Structure 1
């Protein structure tokens, strides 16, 4: 009996291209994406009914997009890692460490460019450590990134001494004011959009993306096909760290400070957004668009709860129910 990898197609059916895995070769919108868009529409209707003046205001819509931008950039990196068969629990702590390191007095002396470079380098450095432990350790991704979570949080606390480090560089602070908006859109949102576009192109239009899907779907088959599996995993964690560094600087712009508590629970929010967006925890399948829609769903829910003065515990229960429903849908679709 032919294995799934070698089975031939039915007579008369066109053969799929050999150089592109099924997980990448799909339409920009599928049923899951449409369902998430439907959820967003339903949430918009709820907001329009319960708080029409506040929810539909341009300022509130900008707020939703701004709040989604930071965790959205993190989610793009996490999505790549999960598609590649890994997991990254350290992203929230890495964001905190990068934001604290970028806002020390010594770093601020180098201005905007120095702070941005520091934030990115810290994120990439943490991603490098994660990648080396996972790919060449070898160490289970859960344990490796959990260790990084604890270490990065501790180092962020040590550097900041538990204090909020206020940004004094005007060029950084100016990026958070309305005068810096481009056609009414905050620069942070534009960065988020750019990261999403680049992430989509990287996953769907490059060899790197195809290798990521292949490694996540079947590492051994990928190795036999000539893919450097260990190097690919290292690159995925470097990409996740890069996204964390960018997100940390965005958070510094948004808050005007760096704190060791930044990025709290970002790892759970990012993983949850990727899951409800259709990314398989077992690897081998996922989309950037789905993850972005997942982020927007969670951010809109948070905004609705805040506008209606509902308790946070109910909000967490609602998020948990959405995650469970998404996983059940995944299992239902994967069951023959």
Structure 2
């Protein structure tokens, strides 16, 4: 008796069934292999992110534009050092902001905290203690403001938007009170020397090295520690994080402390860069930091954050600012360009969320 063709292919009716290598099964195998590869990249912390690759493309395009429009000025070593130095100050702030947004929060006070820390650290009384006095005061003021934000939000039950907005107004007012509207000149030579070319290490300004160190530490904390995993968990689902045993309130307090610490470090870098302290320092830093984090891929709703993406976002914005300045373009056009980039980034995020690609 002749066996059916299907049975003949499978070795008889009693033979174990073997699925045909149909295109659908091949596609499933390819999909499974892709999934495993992605898991492997995630395990190494080296997952290729389309957003980061896109930002690298944008940054490369900006460098080409700058090289074409102002080749002698933009590609000059001194100008490139300036771009990196300016990116360092807002970049350190952005690292702290990335943690806060990843947790589902927001910090509108970072610019005001930088201003307050910079003027408090450059008073005559503080400068009498030299380099250590200025650094310690800047960091301490940043931590103090972060502590107030954290307590109000985590234990006071205040909405982050309202609490940090109140800190923004208070810190700006206190900075104006300390300076009386005047610029406080730094006279400590050891601080000013960090801003001159003689202090550069292999052609790299010390401020850039500090920024790089903060970036590495931030990346390690977010991707390689329990603290980072708890931050992501709190941002993704605070109630689930609480049920899993995470002290959500304490975690939020630590996050705002970390943001304040970053602001204190940024204030010290700004003092080195400007050689003074002013109540207008850090103007709109909160918007630049939030924008850099968003275009870098950090979700405003929380639950996902990327330090590398945030740093690339900072470099993109700083490069745009530099190109506009070299070409004598109005600042309003620059703000429009930044706004367009932010809108595009948010639209990409929404599409990513709809497709479940987070």
TM-score by length of 2: 0.87
Indicate which of 154, 161, 176 corresponds to 2:173: 154
Correspondence for 1:247: 266
Correspondence for 1:94: 113
Cα offsets for 1:260-303 (capped at 9, x unmatched): 00000000000000000001111000100000000000000000
Secondary structure at the aligned position of 1:112 is classed as helix
Distance (Å, rounded) in 1 between the aligned partners of 2:295 and 2:89: 18
Secondary structure at the aligned position of 1:53 is classed as helix
Distance (Å, rounded) in 2 between the aligned partners of 1:24 and 1:60: 38
Cα offsets for 1:193-219 (capped at 9, x unmatched): 000000000000000000000000000
> What does 1:1-336 align with in structure 2 at a 5 Å threshold?
27-336=46-355
Q: Is the 8 A contact 1:92 1:265 kept in 2?
A: yes
Structure 1 unmatched ranges of 5 or more: 1-9
Distance (Å, rounded) in 1 between the aligned partners of 2:256 and 2:42: 21
Displacement, 1:27?
A: 2.8
Q: Is the 8 A contact 1:24 1:213 kept in 2?
A: no
Structure 2 unmatched ranges of 5 or more: 1-27
Distance (Å, rounded) in 2 between the aligned partners of 1:266 and 1:196: 18
Distance (Å, rounded) in 2 between the aligned partners of 1:138 and 1:23: 35
Which aligned segments of 4 or more residues in structure 1 are displaced greater than 2 angstroms?
10-14, 22-29
Kindly report the root-mean-square deviation, in angstroms, between the aligned alpha carbons of the 2 structures.
Answer: 2.0
Q: Is the 8 A contact 1:23 1:285 kept in 2?
A: no
Aligned residues: 323
Distance (Å, rounded) in 2 between the aligned partners of 1:219 and 1:112: 42
Displacement, 1:165?
A: 0.4
Q: Is the 8 A contact 1:23 1:286 kept in 2?
A: no
Q: Is the 8 A contact 2:194 2:272 kept in 1?
A: yes
Distance (Å, rounded) in 1 between the aligned partners of 2:162 and 2:42: 28
Displacement, 1:170?
A: 0.7
Q: Is the 8 A contact 1:23 1:213 kept in 2?
A: no
Displacement, 1:28?
A: 4.4
Structure with bigger helix share is: 2
Distance (Å, rounded) in 2 between the aligned partners of 1:57 and 1:91: 32
Displacement, 1:23?
A: 8.8
Cα offsets for 1:215-254 (capped at 9, x unmatched): 0000000000000000000000000000000000000000
Distance (Å, rounded) in 1 between the aligned partners of 2:333 and 2:151: 40
Distance (Å, rounded) in 1 between the aligned partners of 2:110 and 2:44: 29
Distance (Å, rounded) in 1 between the aligned partners of 2:156 and 2:42: 29
TM-score by length of 1: 0.93
Displacement, 1:24?
A: 8.7
Compared with structure 1, are the counterparts of its residues 200 and 24 closer, same or farther at alpha carbon in structure 2 (3 Å cutoff)?
farther
